[in-house]
Amino acid sequence: MGNITIRDIAKQCGVGVSTVSRALNDHSDIRPETRRRILEAVAKSDFVPNNSARNLKRTDSKTIAILVREIDNPFFSVMIRVMEQEIRREKYSFFIQHMENGQDEVDAAVEIVEEKRLRGIIYLGGDFQSCEERLSRIPVPFVACTARLPDIPEDCIGSYVTINDKKESRHLVDYLCHEGHKKIAILASDKKDTNIGQARLEGYKEALKANHLPICENLICYQDEKEAAYSMESGYRMMKKLLKETEDFTAVFAISDLMIIGACKALLETGKRIPQDVAAAGFDGLAYTGFFEPSITTVVQPAEEIAREAVASLFEMIRTKKRREGKILPAKLEIRKST
């Protein structure tokens, strides 16, 4: 049958990888019926538990894992470069692992600790809204970057470094309103998103309400769940769809810079002038936006500062074995030719 992995056992039993791991390690929070089902599946298979992984607390190495949700996002490339410098300064090694869409953040952490000898984890992106009660199962200190993190349990050694996505999104849309725009479209994430995409959409809606403008559902274009998140391709397709269904807008805000670059290409292809016909603005502060013509207005996230603060927070938790208060850093609205 070939080598059976812990993921195979989890799939066969209809549970998460972390549940299999806890059953094998005789944790008390597993229901007897679930434990019995898992152990029976292990007994009937060729699965051999990694005994060295069970002793990670005694044999852990000086290694950090960086788990990336959108590994193709150039915004994260800037952060990874800074993190590499800071981690190596601490005389630690690190590796990068991509998290697949739909993969659970807690399960991913438990699995990777089972496979590698780790001292800590840094998340770049991710959705933790459904993980609140399970965060304490992450077996090493962790920091979440640029993600909405719920209240961290008291017994959990974790922290976060991010910006206030709702506030910064509202600031940008408020600026567009003050420029005289009354019909502002938004290229949003998919409808199931509970992460930063939702926060940026909430900021958009709050700005419209504060400026006494109606929220028009036909001006909210949601990303298809099957598309690559926050990509130029999705921004291009979404703008084409929006132009086909309605041209009743004078400005568009995309929740990522990659999306607004794709959207601008679609606008120009259809003969729209930027900003004379449609003003365009994005979010993240990618260097690309300054080289696009016209240069694109964007919310600039302090990527390097987020990266340095994340590494500093992680090593403090590794040393003290105590959780650390999260940090929310300010962003900057960079106004350029596109608006």
Question: What band does 3 get if pLDDT is binned at 50, 70 and 90?
Answer: low
In a domain? residue 308:
no
Question: What band does 34 get if pLDDT is binned at 50, 70 and 90?
Answer: confident
In a domain? residue 207:
yes
Q: What is the mean pLDDT of residues 182-193?
A: 94
Q: What is the mean pLDDT of residues 190-214?
A: 94
Cα 226 from chain centroid (whole Å): 16
Question: What band does 27 get if pLDDT is binned at 50, 70 and 90?
Answer: low
pLDDT at 261: 97
- Indicate which CATH number applies to the domain containing 27: 1.10.260.40
In a domain? residue 292:
yes
Tokens read off for 172: 């940008």
Question: What band does 252 get if pLDDT is binned at 50, 70 and 90?
Answer: very high
Question: What band does 115 get if pLDDT is binned at 50, 70 and 90?
Answer: confident
Domain span at 23: 1-49
> For 170, what's the count of Cα atoms within 13 Å in the CB-facing half-sphere?
15
In a domain? residue 97:
no
To the nearest whole number, what is the mean pLDDT of the chain?
A: 87
In a domain? residue 158:
no
pLDDT at 56: 40
In a domain? residue 32:
yes
In a domain? residue 281:
yes
pLDDT at 197: 92
- Indicate which CATH number applies to the domain containing 290: 3.40.50.2300
pLDDT at 83: 96
pLDDT at 1: 44
| Cβ 229 vs Cβ 258: under 8 Å | no
| Cβ 242 vs Cβ 185: under 8 Å | yes
Question: What band does 291 get if pLDDT is binned at 50, 70 and 90?
Answer: very high
Q: What is the mean pLDDT of residues 181-204?
A: 93
The count of domains in the chain is 2
In a domain? residue 236:
yes
